Amino acid sequence: MLKLKSLVPYIAGSLVAVVAIGILRTPKVSAAIKAAFVEVAIPSNPFYNNMIVLNAATSVGPDSGTLGVTNLTLTNFDSTAQQVFIFAPVFSTGGCGGPSADIIGGGGPQMQFYVQPQQTLSISYPSPLTFHGISGHTCVAAEVTTLLHGGSVEITVNGFVN
């Protein structure tokens, strides 16, 4: 009788393990678990937008969520080299890319790029460059900080939104 009582926890544990394995092996549960892992690895909300920067700061973005930028492509259509400032904008009115968007400052991440005349610069981020919402707006902004001579700078933003 004493030996039987000491075996009860082992028998109960084995039964729980067999039931758990049986549940996890069912096709529906197995597919749901795999789908959850794929969703983490491959986001379902891709983001793509571009902006033409002339003499004022310009912004693009989903305006909500968290933007993970995986690639920035800067093309200088001007005849002289241009310095471009990329940042997370702060607005007094409006939102991302809107006609009434009034950029009054910036937050992080911030970076400067120097693009040669009539050249394209592509920057990839294997670990996404993350832009969180500032004052409720999730955007990427750019400003040319050197003098344009009749050209412009085009910036393409690729990534995903969570």
The string of DSSP letters for the chain reads -HHHHHHHHHHHHHHHHHHHHHHHHSHHHHHHHHHHHHHHHS-S-EEEEEEEESSS-EEE--SSS-EEEEEEEEEE-SSS-EEEEEEEEEEEES-TT-TT-EEEEEEEEEEEEEE-TT-EEEEEEEEEEEE--BTTB--EEEEE-S--SS--EEEEEEEEE-
Per residue in 12-28, is it b (16+ CB within 10 Å) or e — as a string?
eeeeeeeeeeeeeeeee
The answer to pTM > 0.75 is: no
Task: Check pLDDT > 80 for residue 131.
Answer: yes
Candidates 82, 86, 83; CA nearest to 103 is: 86
Confidence of residue 102 (pLDDT cuts 50, 70, 90): confident
User: How does pLDDT run across 51-72, given as a tens digit for each residue?
Assistant: 998 888 888 988 888 889 999 9
Position 149 pLDDT exceeds 70: yes
Residue 155's pLDDT is: 94
Q: How far apart are the first and last CA of the chain?
A: 59
152, pLDDT greater than 60? yes
Q: Are 81 and 59 in contact (CB under 8 A)?
A: no
Residue 103 clears pLDDT 60, i.e. is over it: yes
Question: Among candidates 44, 50, 36, which has minimal Cα distance to 162?
Answer: 44
Of residues 103 and 154, more confidence is placed in 154
Share the mean pLDDT of the chain. Answer: 81
